[in-house]
Amino acid sequence: MYNYYFAYQILGNRFQRLGVPIKEVNERRQKNGESKPRNSLAQHLIKLVKDHRNLSETVQRFRHFFSPLFFAQIATSSISLCISVYSLAYNSDQNLFRTVQLMVTLFYATFDIYFVMFFASEISSSSGRVSFCLYESNWIGQTESYKKLLLIFCEVLKQPEELKVLIYPMNLETFSSIVNGSYSLFNLLKNFK
């Protein structure tokens, strides 16, 4: 998941550098002995659009393949979180090893859910920043047709990539609702004791 976060960051940087005066780039390339001129700005934008589409399709395949695994991971960690809190609250014996084991389970379950939700949230935020990077590029001095292409693609980029488990988005708000749900289940178990 961290690779997809970095891929969106790199794509955003490439969009941000879009619009560098091609004349200067071609002069530098000719000084270095390359006679072939660089592609036009519109062709470069089209290539970046294709790269964005490929990355988006890859993330969707990742989401489709790993969604059941993430659901199982989050469900088992939530249950472990609730059971460890319940056991810690009513740990009547003074066994230090058992207390340490329950504390480790509690922290592991919490961070297991947190890191999955955090990286999914980072993917969403970095894919959302790509449109800002495109806006920060040097588009003001370009032709009207290029500006129209940019506006069309900015509309496409307004929808950030979002990973979901079943119907729930994977983000930090979902993490807090899972922790709140585990605490509610703990209170329910406490009332039955």
| DSSP code string of 45-90 | HHHHHHHHHHHHHHHHHHHHHHHHHHHHHHHHHHHHHHHHHHHHHT
The whole-chain average pLDDT of the chain stands at 83
Model's pTM, two decimal places? 0.76
* Percentage of residues of the chain with pLDDT beyond 90: 22
| pLDDT given at position 38 | 47
Q: Give the pLDDT band of residue 178 (cuts 50, 70, 90).
A: confident
**Domain locations in the chain as residue ranges:** 2-192
* CA distance linking residue 116 with residue 108, whole number of Å: 12
Give the residue with greater pLDDT, 178 vs 93. 178
Per-residue pLDDT tens over the stretch 15-38: 888 776 655 555 666 676 655 544
* CA distance linking residue 185 with residue 179, whole number of Å: 10
Mean pLDDT, range 102-114, rounded to an integer: 90
| pLDDT given at position 146 | 79
Mean pLDDT, range 159-163, rounded to an integer: 84
